[in-house]
């Protein structure tokens, strides 16, 4: 499926605005480097997701709190 950059940018804008509480203007004023920093860890590497084991441990911990 072919998708235009503008379609992807609009979808990314909506996702970031909802998850970060940004107004749309904040997204459009942010640089790609600033947006990358939101999703990078302290070393500047892309953030990694949880493994199944880590998620299971968190859920188990939550059940006992």
Report the DSSP beta bridge partners of residue 39: none
Note the pLDDT tens digit of each residue in 5-60.
788 888 888 888 998 899 999 989 999 888 888 877 767 676 677 888 988 998 99
Question: So where are the chain's domains?
Answer: 1-30, 38-65
Indicate the pTM of the whole model.
Answer: 0.50
For the chain, the maximum distance between any two Cα atoms, rounded to a whole number of angstroms, is: 47
CB-based contacts of 47: which residues, under 8 Å, 6+ apart? 39, 40, 41
By the 10 Å C-beta count (0-12 exposed, 13-18 middle, 19+ buried), 47 is classed as exposed
């Amino acid at each position: 499926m072919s998708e235009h950059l503008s379609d992807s940018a609009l979808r990314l804008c909506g996702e970031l605005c909802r998850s970060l509480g940004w107004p749309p203007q904040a997204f459009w004023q942010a640089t790609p480097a600033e947006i990358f920093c939101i999703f990078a860890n302290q070393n500047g590497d892309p953030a990694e997701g949880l493994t199944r084991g880590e998620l299971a441990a968190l859920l188990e911990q939550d059940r006992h709190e």
